[in-house]
Amino acid sequence: MRKIVFINTSYWAWGELTIAIQFAKRLKRAECLFIVPPSHESRIKRSGFEYRILIPHGKRLNRLTFSEVQSAFGPDLVILSDLLNYAFCDTHYGLTFEDLELFKCPCGGFDLYDLKKTAGKVDTFGFIDRKIKSFDFSYLSLFLQPCPILSPFTNKQTGSVRYSLFEMQKPVGKKEQTDAKNKLGINENQKIVFITNATWQQNHRLYPETIEFISSCYDSIYSSMTNLPQDIQIICVGPRRFFPTNCSKNFSHIESMPEEEFKTFISAADLLVSNNFISTSMVEVALKGIPVLLLQNSYFKFKDRKGWAGGRKAPEPAQVAALEKVYPFRMFPVGWFLFLDPIVTNNPFYSILPHIEIYDNEKITGTILSMLESTYREEFNKRIEHFKKKLVELPEPDEAIEA
């Protein structure tokens, strides 16, 4: 039985840890240990895996943790739960790729972004961060690339293995959805539009010049939702409200909820609206046959430059006329429009999901209404189930780490 260490350095987002836990749970021939930030201790404790805790700004102590794990656990493989995040973790934990040499075994990582292709164009909050261009990947011998965030059809790089992010599940059927609505006290005939936002999506406050633009995006989402009939229930889950406190009764906001309750709400939902293409929750919902609408922005405006990324031809959105800074995004609010472009190009999963400009309120409202029709869900399910046949052909985790 192989011994595998997973290192998670993202202290504010759950997605990277979710990917690693899902992968570890599916391994049938491995013993796993996790090294995680203090913020993720409760989550990893619930998973049942052995773990160690990283110390913020504790380079020496974190290196000692690596050495202790090497001595006591003796891993055969070390896997970074997010290559991109680890590359920047020297700021928070004092760790670098060189510190991986403390482990006397091969090292790999989850590569959500096909970094060898996308490196050099990390557009973050409207500016290009070129630090990634100098990353040294020579410390890594294995790149685990989860699908369908990455297409299972496109050519992979040397040393890369594509696998399915989730085990295949049956789509949420009518009975399961009705039971979930009954459990939540919602009429089975009432349509539910579900919107989520995460704590990490509030980190834009570190960049004051982005606040007006980001607030306008929230306002635009709310405007699109107010045009829907009031018998449609709009449920927003997360720390940030998408709508005012004095709005219609068909709007409700839940700041947080236990994982099992979240699963019930998802099963009850008729539609998920997401502004993050690489969200693991969004991917899981879509693979369960629940329709997903992606919101993005491809308009930019900064100083004397303005226009549409990707060559789109359209007038400037009226909502940004008074704004000084506007930037494209596929992962709200960070941006990553250019960075993720190679990932979404020719990606059949991205093509299955309608993706609409966040300021196109009329189109968003009309698309939501059409997606709430039962015939749409039936057709969406057919396309997803056909796509999942390709995911089933991908290596299982045990095969992936031995490839």
Is residue 187 within 8 A of residue 108, CB to CB? The reply is no
* 3-class DSSP state of 317: coil
30-36 and 2-7 beta bridge pairing = parallel
| 253 or 76, which is more confident | 76
- State the residue for tokens 């990490």: 200
Angle, vertex CA 313, rays to CA 310 and CA 316, nearest 5:
100
* pLDDT tens-digit readout, 265-321: 999 999 999 999 999 999 999 999 999 999 999 999 998 899 999 778 889 999 999
In DSSP notation, 193-218 reads EEEE--GGGGGGGGSGGGHHHHHHHH
Output the 3-class SS for 47-62. HCCEEEECCCCCHHHH
CATH classification of 174-392 is 3.40.50.2000, yes or no?
Answer: yes
Residue 123 has pLDDT above 80, yes or no: yes
Burial 251-260 (b: 16+ CB within 10 A, else e): bebeeeeeee
What is the per-residue pLDDT for 88? 80
Residue 131's pLDDT band (cuts 50, 70, 90): low
Name, in order, each residue with C-beta under 8 angstroms of 295's C-beta and a sequence gap of 6 or more: 221, 273, 274, 275, 332, 355, 356, 357, 358, 364
pTM for this model (two decimals): 0.91
Instruction: Round to whole Å and give the CA distance between 206 and 128.
Output: 17
Angle, vertex CA 238, rays to CA 89 and CA 361, nearest 5:
105
Hey, do 2-165+394-402 and 174-392 end up sharing a CATH topology, with the first three levels equal? yes
Residue 320 CB neighbours (<10 A): 21
Is residue 81 within 8 A of residue 17, CB to CB? The reply is yes
Element (H, E) at 5: strand 2-7
What is the per-residue pLDDT for 117? 74
Instruction: Give me the percent of the chain exceeding a pLDDT of 90.
Output: 69
Element (H, E) at 30: strand 30-36
What is the per-residue pLDDT for 169? 83
Q: What mean pLDDT is predicted for residues 92-110?
A: 94
Residue 398's pLDDT band (cuts 50, 70, 90): very high
CATH classification of 2-165+394-402 is 3.90.930.60, yes or no?
Answer: no
Per-domain residue ranges for the chain? 2-165+394-402, 174-392
Cis peptide before 315 (omega within 30 of 0): no
What is the per-residue pLDDT for 232? 96
Both structure tokens of 184 = 């939540």
